[in-house]
Every structure is written in C-alpha cells, then in structure tokens.
Structure 1
Amino acid sequence: MISRKTFLKSVAGAAVMAGLGGGTAGAAPADSRAADAAGPRLGKLRGGVCYDTGVLHSASEPLSRVRWSRGQLEREIGMIADLRCPSITAFGSDIGRLTETTAAALRRGMEVYVQPRLYDHSQEEILEHMAETARKAERLRRGDNVKFVTGCEHFLFTPGIVPGENFLDRINNMDQIPEAEWPNIIRRFRQFMARAVEVTRREFGGRITYGAADDADAVWNDWSLFDIVGVDYYAYFPTDAEYTTDLAKYRKWNKPIMILEFGCCTFTGAAQAGGMGWDILDYPDDPEKPATVKPGFVRDEHEQAEHIARMLRVFGQEKVQGAHLYSFISPDSPHHPTNRDYDYDIASYTLLKTLRTRHHDEASPYRTEPKQSFHAFRRHNC
C-alpha cells in the first residue's frame, strides 16, 4: 500500500522502457471456472475480507499479531461467516496459523486465498516459506475452494528488488530512484516472480495469483504466469466512470480480476489517502515511548463506512471476481476511547475496533466492537 501519486511519479515510462506488455490467457488448472473470466455470477458482488494472522518483520521481533488463540480465531471467523463473506484472504507468516485459519474458514463454507507474508527476509527464505505454505494449502484444497497468493507487493517487502535495507527504507526511496534504473528494478522483480510461480506450482495444484500494488507491480507483472490477476486497489476517484477507465488496464490479460485488498482508514480524508492512510502516526526516537497520532487527523467512522460501501458497489458494477476488504481486525492498532493521541484505530483499515485491557501491551487480552463500516459492510452483503 503506497500512494498512487508516488507510483505514477516514480515509474513514468519505466514499463515501456522495460518492454512490458499485455498477454492472453494461459492454461489454468483443470478445476478452474471458465465463467469467472467474465466476473462473478448473477447477483450483486458480496464482499470478503482479509484476515491478518500476524506478520514476521524480522527474526528478532515477534509476530505483529502477538496474542493468538484457537477460541479467538473461531469467534472471529464465525463473525466473518455471519457477514455472508463468500471468501477471505488469510495472510501472515506463521504457517500453522495460516493452515488453522484456512481450515476454520473452509468449515464455514468460505473459499480461502492463502497468502504467505515474510517481510525483509532473504529471497531464498521467502521462497522456501512460500513453498511450504503452498504444500500445506494443497492438503486442504478440494477443487477450487483454496487459491494461493504468491505473496504481497514483493518489490517493497522483499530485499534485492528496490534499494533499501527494509521495507520502510524502500518506500522512502521510491521518489529518489532515477528513471533509468526502473527497467532494472522491473527485471529483478519479474525474475523473482518467475521463481515464486515455479516453487508454488511445484507444490500447489489449484489456481494461483499475486497480491500486486495497483499502478506498480500490478502493471509490471507477467500475468500470463498466473490464473487470476490480483490487485491491491486503493485508488480514489470522484466518479464511478473513472474507476471503469482505470480498471480497464487489467482486462487486457483476459483473466479474472480479484481485488485482494481495498479500503481506507478511519479519519476524515482517509478515502483519498488510500494506501498511505496508515502513515499518520509519529514514532518517537525513543523506542520505549509510544507512538502518537499526528495533529489534525479527526476520527471519522462515517467516511470509512461510506467509502467501503461505495467501492463494493463499484466492484460489483465492474464484475470483478471478488473483493476483499483490508481488513477485518488489527489487534496491533487498538482504539483508545478517551485519548485521541493514542487512538491507533484511526490509522487502521478495519471493520472492528480493538480495545485492549492494557492499551500499550501487545500481549494484552482484547475485545472488539463493530465500527460503522462493519454495519455498512453487513448491509451490503446481507
């Protein structure tokens, strides 16, 4: 999730210089649905959600979702099923948690897009992790009920493609990369993705896709290697017609389009901030001190709810295969009901706000409450 403005400025002309182009549908696994290429079946598009199982940023840190239990998982997956979500994306680093989440969602009749994420590890480690996750996902697959997502926005989260020691460095470097370097970046990205597809196909027999950033690696990617075009889509346009024009660039591959992420944060102006809405927290130099919400940002559950409802309607009109809201819950971004400076939920994309017993303790027990977006999402789906 990075701003559309930064992408457009950084990669202007790079795709042409690197010789990128469209393609045609390749051979898909035998259990794929040919009708999906034209979008969802009759009826409105019901939204799904992303479910965060916790991401490992480095070997020295815990998973981003510290607290985890089977009971909590079952309750939250049950809530998602009650929203009549046809599918979810289960993402994270712990393969056991991913497998557990996939099985829980399948028991409730939902399809699952399994997406391993392992930020800022070596490419070999990421590929080994991907292969093992694909192996476990294949054991749960029955026909087309499980799809595999070969990671998320690797040009930012995987070393060796864009310069930078970690993904925050790489985000900050985007504006400073010379235009002449972009063909090399795209070449390195495509080489890594070809390896990702190879290790995945070796272990997984179902349909595969990739969580690509709109207007960046979604455009650079060679989608002929995949069965589904997967896009993390945070673009904002004033009119629906502009979305139609913008999404048309992904139709040239003649493959189903899956919106693997969309949504906005919970403050006034968040819809236009899109994929950079999270960047409203100030982190002090002293790691022992908590972050604070930057001045000027006002909590606004109504804007988030309206934007989510609008995007679900737009995606239905565009007849994409599906759309997954980012995200259902983020226990690492708790709400503070009385101190706006520590209300990290303002910077979250979630349907539920998390309230910790001990606000600044990541291992603290928590409870959840629905936001206005939760009710808007339910009204659309039900």
Structure 2
Amino acid sequence: MISRKTFLKSVAGAVAVTSLGGGMAEAAGKPRRLRGGVAYDAGVLHAAGEPLSRVRWSRGQLEREIRVIADELRCPSITAFGTDVGRLAETTSTALRRGLEVYVQPRLYDHPQDQVLDHLAETARQAERLRHGDDVKFVTGCEHLLFTPGIVPGETYLERIANMATIPPEEWPKIMDRLADFLARAADVARRNFRGRITYASIGGAEPVDWTLFDIVGIDYYPYFATDAEYTKDLAQYRKWGKPVMVLEFGSCTFTGAAQAGGMGWDIVDYEQVPPRIKPGHVRDEREQADHLARLLRVFTEAGLRGAHVYTFIAPDLPHRPDRPEFDLDMASYSLVKTLRARQDDDNSPYRFERKLSFGALARHNRG
C-alpha cells in the first residue's frame, strides 16, 4: 500500500503546475474561537457486495449518538457522510432537531461517474427538502481523485491509491484536467438540485480545485508538522480565495505515532489474518490522539478557519478489545469513542461505547 506521504509527493508537482489562483486573503484580526464539530458515519459502501460500514442501524441509536454530540461535546455542526440516501436524510433531520448545522456528504465509491452524479443529485434534492436557510450545506463528494473511477487509472480506489507512485510526471496534467472536469460537473449537479451553499471535501495538499465553483473551501486535512507555525503557513494557501475555509475531516488514530501517520493511520491492521489483527509493534495511546486534536483545534482557531470536524465520532466496525491488544482494532480508528460489541466477530452485534481521552479534549475545547 502506498503511504500518504508518497502519494502527496507523487502529485505535488502536478498541484504546483495546475493550481488556480483567485480571491484576496480574508481580513486580518483577532480570530474567533473555533468550536469543533465531528464527522458522523451513516454507513459507506466500500465495495460491491459488502454491507455498509455501519451494519447495525436504528433510530434510537442515531438519536442517542447525536444527543451526545450536541449536548456533551457541544458541537456546532457535523458532516453526515454515507452511501444510503435515506440514512443521510434521517441523520440530517435528527441533527437539525438538536440545533446542529449539517454538511451533507454523499459517498459512492468505484461506480461509473454518471452513477456517482445521479447519487449526488438525489442526495442534494433530499438535503434541499430539509434545509431551512443556511442550516444545511451540501458537500459534492469526497476525494474524487481517489474514490471516483476515470480520473486516475485503476478499477478500485485501492488500486488507484497503489498506482499513484507509478504514474509518469507527464501524465499528471491530464489527470488534473479530468479531475477539474468532473468537479465542474459535480458542482453543476449540486447547484441544480440544492439552493444552499455548497463545498467539496478535497484532499488537503493534493487536489488543485477551482474554488470559484463553490461557496466554501473544504479540505480533508491530515498532514503532520512539528511546529504550529508550519501548520499556519500550510493553511494559508486555502485562504487566498477569500472564502470561508472548512476542515471537513481531521484527526488521529489511537496508537503511538498515529499523529505523524495522519491519513494512513488505519493501515496498521493486517486484514490478511483471520480474524484481522493489529500489526506487531503498535501500542495503544489515547493521549497522543487527544493531544493532537487539541493542538489542531488551537491551530485552526488561530488560522481563522470557519470550522473543523473531527473524523470521526464512532467506528463500530473497529471494536475495542481491552483484553487482547492484538485484536484491539480501535487502535486503527479515528473515533472519539471506543466501541465494545457484545459479539466481537459480528458486525451486526449490539454495542455500547465508552468515551476516549480525545472525547474529553474536544468537549473541553468547546466549553472554552
């Protein structure tokens, strides 16, 4: 599997060549305190024939979890992401009743582009029906460079990620042209079906986006820098458009070294084993996850961003095993809570969750 570092390095030249300018930086001044939100997984179809990433689903469970997000974490907003349009609508409606702002993000991986756009249009229509004023935003998909076929060679997103390191430099301008064409089509579909503000969940540092197509600059942000000043410098590139900047995903897994692993932290699980297990050499570390979230929330506030969503609230498909560290899949999770299932090997098993140290870090930040 290609590392995120290798992936970003492989596309850096293309981004530098094809980046689009525009807009003036936002006016300087004392930044308002940014209250962190969360990304909420309503169930993603990762491969044909497989169940959604959240197999077990009920209204009672949804309402309990959204209540915790609103009342205990005091989040102002969520990104509701998933494949099932009905679940996305249910999540959005539940969150709105709790006073949360919702960024609705459809995800349909490895389907033909026309099907991806049809799915986007259907979700946008549902989001428009639920919108009152500016309480719902629409996200025109997630990291299409990786998850949508026809831009980078490869039938599946895993193949496309693996192919990144072998693409000749002269091919990248063509790839970026294909990405730009698809994003323009996606923005047009969103505008025709949704009258509120729209954005896109871009790969931070790797997808050159023409943000004139969107109302909000949206990024999934997983780089690691040793100093806050380096983060501030890196984030400045997104403010040149003169538009609000929203971090739709950021976070860390739950092991020592996870902050530096960033968006590839999930890759510590050996899925070739039955049952899957954590690769040797990794140690559970809730403190590192909590400290990283607290640090970035402070950085995002100082950078004057509109908001930021921790990825993610819960990951029931990565249950915690306090008695067997080698099977503690929660170490590879970015979630704020750890899932304890009644039956470890059953994705449809009833579960309860316990709050991690990162949960407390977000709650304390939001209380100010």
Tell me if TM exceeds 0.5: yes
Change (3 A) 1:233 1:40: farther
User: Within 2, Cα distance between the matches of 1:104 and 1:6?
Assistant: 40
- Work out whether residues 15 and 206 of structure 2, in 8 Å CA contact, stay in contact via their aligned partners in 1: no
1:348 equivalenced with 2:333 (yes/no): yes
Structure 2 residue matching 1:171: 3-state secondary structure? helix
Task: Summarize the Cα distance change of 1:295–1:13 in structure 2 as closer, same or farther, 3 Å threshold.
Answer: same
**1:301 and 2:286 aligned:** yes
Contact 2:294 2:362 in 1 (8 A): yes
Moved more, 37-46 or 205-214: 37-46
Q: Do the aligned partners of 1:336 and 1:355 also contact (CA within 8 Å) in 2?
A: yes
- Alignment match of 2:165 (pick from 170, 175, 181): 175
Q: Deviations along 1:133-172, whole A, 9 cap, x unmatched? A: 0000001111110000001001101111111121111111
Match of 2:224 in 1: 236
- What CA distance in whole angstroms lies between the structure 1 residues aligned with 2:94 and 2:216? 24
Query: TM-score, length-normalised on structure 2?
Result: 0.96
Distance in 1 between residues matched to 2:144 and 2:28, nearest whole Å: 26
Which of 206, 216, 220 does residue 216 from structure 1 map onto? 206
| Cα offset, 1:24, TM superposition | 2.9
Structure 2 partner of 1:360: 345
Change (3 A) 1:164 1:369: same
Closer/same/farther in 2, CA of residues 96 and 249 from structure 1, 3 Å limit: same
Equivalent positions of 1:1-382 (< 5 A) are: 5-17=5-17, 19-24=18-23, 43-82=32-71, 83-217=73-207, 220-284=208-272, 289-382=274-367
Percent identity, please: 67
Q: Distance in 1 between matches of 2:224 and 2:338?
A: 24
Question: For residue 332 of structure 1, what is the amino acid of its counterpart?
Answer: D
Structure 1 window deviating more from structure 2 (72-81 vs 331-340): it is 331-340
The 3 A distance-change label for structure 1 pair 170 and 39 is farther
Cα deviation for residue 40 of structure 1 reads: 11
CA offset at residue 16 of structure 1? 4.6
- Contact 1:7/1:215, CA 8 A, preserved across alignment: no
CA distance in 1, matches of 2:308, 2:7: 22
| Alpha-carbon distance between aligned partners in 1 of 2:64 and 2:145, rounded to the nearest angstrom | 35
Distance 1:78 1:319 in 2: 28
Q: Secondary structure at the match of 1:312?
A: helix
Per mean C-alpha deviation after superposition, the further-off stretch among 50-59 and 90-99 is 50-59
Aligned mates of 1:40, 1:54 — CA distance in 2: 40
Structure 1 runs of 4+ off > 3 angstroms? 36-43
- Going from structure 1 to structure 2, the CA distance change for 1:11 and 1:59 (only over 3 Å counts) comes to closer
Q: CA deviation at 1:291?
A: 1.1
TM-score, length of structure 1 as denominator length? 0.92
Amino acid at match of 2:50: E
- The SS at the match of 1:162 is coil
SS in 1 for 2:104: strand
Match of 2:164, SS state, is helix
Q: Deviations over 1:247-289 (max 9, x none)?
A: 111111111100000000000000000000001011217xxx2
Where does structure 1 lack aligned partners over 5 or more consecutive residues?
A: 26-35
Letter in 1 for 2:44: V
Give the Cα separation in 1 of the matches to 2:280 and 2:269: 9
Is the Cα–Cα contact under 8 Å of residues 12 and 179 in structure 1 kept in the other structure?
A: no
Count of equivalent residues: 365
How many Å apart are 1:178 and its aligned residue? 0.8
Query: 1:39 and 1:354, CA in 2 relative to 1: closer, same or farther beyond 3 A?
Result: farther
The CA deviation at 1:354 is 0.3
Q: Distance in 2 between matches of 1:130 and 1:39?
A: 36
Name stretches of at least 5 consecutive residues in structure 2 with no aligned partner: none
RMSD: 1.8
**Partners of 1:325 and 1:37 in 2: CA distance:** 24
Q: Distance in 2 between matches of 1:41 and 1:366?
A: 44
Retained in 2: the 8 A contact 1:93–1:116? yes
Q: Which amino acid aligns with 1:155?
A: L
1:39 is displaced (CA, Å) by 9.7
Report how far residue 12 of structure 1 moved. 3.3
